[in-house]
A = this chain, B = another copy of it.
Amino acid sequence: MSVPYDLLKNTPNGHLPASARVPAIARPFVSERALKTLDIVEKFVEEECIPADAVFTRQIGETPVERFEAHPSIIEDLKTKAKQLGIWNMFLPKNHFTEGAGFSNLEYGLMAEYLGKSITASEATNCAAPDTGNMEVLAKYGTEAQKRKWLDPLLEGKIRSAFLMTEPQVASSDATNIEMSIRREGNEYVLNGQKWWSSGAGDLRCKIYIVLGKTDPNNTNKYAQQSVVLVPNDTPGITIHRMLSVMGFDDAPHGHGHISFDNVRVPAENMVLGEGKGFEIIQGRLGPGRIHHAMRSVGAAEKALEWFLARLNDPRKTPFGEQLHKHGIMIERVAKSRIEIDAARLMVLNAAIKIDESNAKGALKEIAEVKVLVPTMNLTVIDRAIQAYGGAGVCQDTPLAQMYALGRTMRIVDGPDEVHVLQLGKNENKKGPAHKARIDAQIKRGQELLGQYGIEVSDPLQINRVSGQTSKKSKL
């Protein structure tokens, strides 16, 4: 029997259900079914997943070897419950896929916010990255055989997957720079090179790598050089050299692998969509994923604010003789956090609607805005909460330090902020000449109007100090 969470809803100044807190402006886009599911998701996360996070953390073990061989049993228990509750695969948007739970990106976005409050919730509902993006790729571009072999067990949560794109030796935020070689040899493709930040690769259950490499590195069209192939993780020639840490956390058992490929051979039918289609595939893959990340980050920030508020109301903590919520500088930070979170949420929801109405390409600006805005907001809010907790904020006694580490990576994954800032700025700048033309025309029109109203265009005050004389134009 679970802790009587429902009671909390009845506390004074208490808790409205998630469905009642959907921003007014977003409501027309949310179906009744989604609202109900949203409340189920919230309840599942708050009552089941967050308490389970403590067990998950301990079941992983201590030594590196243990940690990357662990599969915490509690995650399977949560998955069973989630399936029973009907909250499974909500991420696959209804207008593009039939395999999912039938929600829009906007509707799933609202749910993802809650998933972002727990380290187990996303996987528990089979909505965890990178599987989500990988399932989208397989569902959208995979052959029937590829779907049966990899998509089906992924959709059922039986296996996990990794997406191998980033490489250590180049600025791979620009995918044209990647160097992994995919060479056709008879009926096979042979892969050579190395990848890192292969998230999820540490997991024992991770069975399939979706690998971006170059089949045609000399193609003059630098967007036609890349291809995506499916590589089972137990193919000979693959070595995970090491697991990368994130601000001190190893993120086990999921982890982030640094992997080498030494003449790794896969059958030719493992090619996705066709040679040279790699760029197209990754472009399509990243858009919705950024929305998912962003809404989870909004949820993380909301959680940080909740922890912050809990600390402010801890009767044992009374610096200068007063509880923290009596201190104006704390209340100011609460208010700023409230505003920044709410603004970020609206931006993500608006971007999700743009994707729903067209697709990721049609929402390019909105996705870039969210990619830049949300992670920094999230870190700012978490950092304020950490500061309010002092020592407890940086250590294992609160979830805040780990949230900070995860949040920090969000400024880097799928391309660092700066890439998005520059692309967004350059696109906006394209409007510059038109703005200049209009402003120049407005100034010219203003001068015409001055004439029509009998006013000289030049300034009425002019000074001429020749030979001691001072003369001025007669004023208006």
Contacts and interface: CB of A to CB of B under 8 A. Distances in A.
A430 B56 CA distance: 32
A467 B369 contact: no
Q: Which 9 A-B pairs have the closest CB atoms?
A: A248-B248, A328-B328, A54-B446, A242-B459, A331-B425, A335-B425, A313-B432, A309-B432, A310-B436
A461 B242 contact: yes
30 contacts: A11-B434, A12-B434, A14-B431, A24-B353, A25-B346, A25-B350, A51-B443, A52-B449, A62-B63, A62-B64, A64-B475, A169-B316, A170-B316, A239-B462, A248-B249, A248-B401, A248-B405, A306-B431, A306-B435, A306-B438, A309-B429, A312-B429, A313-B432, A319-B418, A331-B421, A334-B424, A334-B425, A334-B429, A336-B372, A394-B409
Interface string A33-68: 000000000000011001111110011011111001
Interface stretch (A130-138, A186-194, A230-238): A230-238
A361 interface: no
Judged by DSSP, the binding face of A is helix
Contacts of A61: 476
A347 interface: yes
Contacts of A204: 465, 470
B241 A462 contact: yes
A350 B173 contact: no
Contact of A332 (B46, B240, B329, B334): B329
Nearest to A239: B464
Contacts of A449: 51-52, 54-55, 74
Interface stretch (A121-129, A285-293, A385-393): A385-393
A436 B336 CA distance: 20
Contact of A396 (B52, B244, B437, B447): B244
Given A309-B431, A467-B234, A372 B335 contact: yes
A317 B83 CA distance: 45
Q: A166, A197, A429, A441 — which one has the most chain B CB atoms within 10 A of its CB?
A: A429
Given A28-B28, A244-B397, 10 more contacts: A11-B434, A13-B433, A46-B438, A58-B476, A174-B319, A236-B466, A239-B462, A309-B435, A328-B332, A329-B422
Contacts of A459: 241-243
Nearest to A411: B387
Interface string A395-433: 111000110110011011000111111101110111111
Nearest to A326: B328
A441 B5 contact: yes
Contact of A339 (B339, B372, B405, B462): B372
B455 A59 contact: yes
A366 B21 CA distance: 13
A325 interface: yes
A152 interface: no
Given A55-B446, A247-B248, A319-B171, A412 B394 contact: yes
A221 interface: no
B387 A430 contact: no
A460 interface: yes
Given A314-B436, A434-B14, A3 B354 contact: no
Contact of A338 (B26, B51, B428): B428
Contacts of A396: 244-245
A361 B279 CA distance: 51
B411 A329 contact: no
A149 interface: no
Interface in A339-353: 339, 342-344, 346-347, 349-350, 353
B395 A245 contact: yes
Interface string A304-328: 0111011011101111100001011
A300 to B, nearest CB: 15
B442 A50 contact: yes
A247 B245 contact: no
B25 A463 contact: no
A20 interface: no
A182 interface: no
A62 B476 contact: yes
Nearest to A248: B248
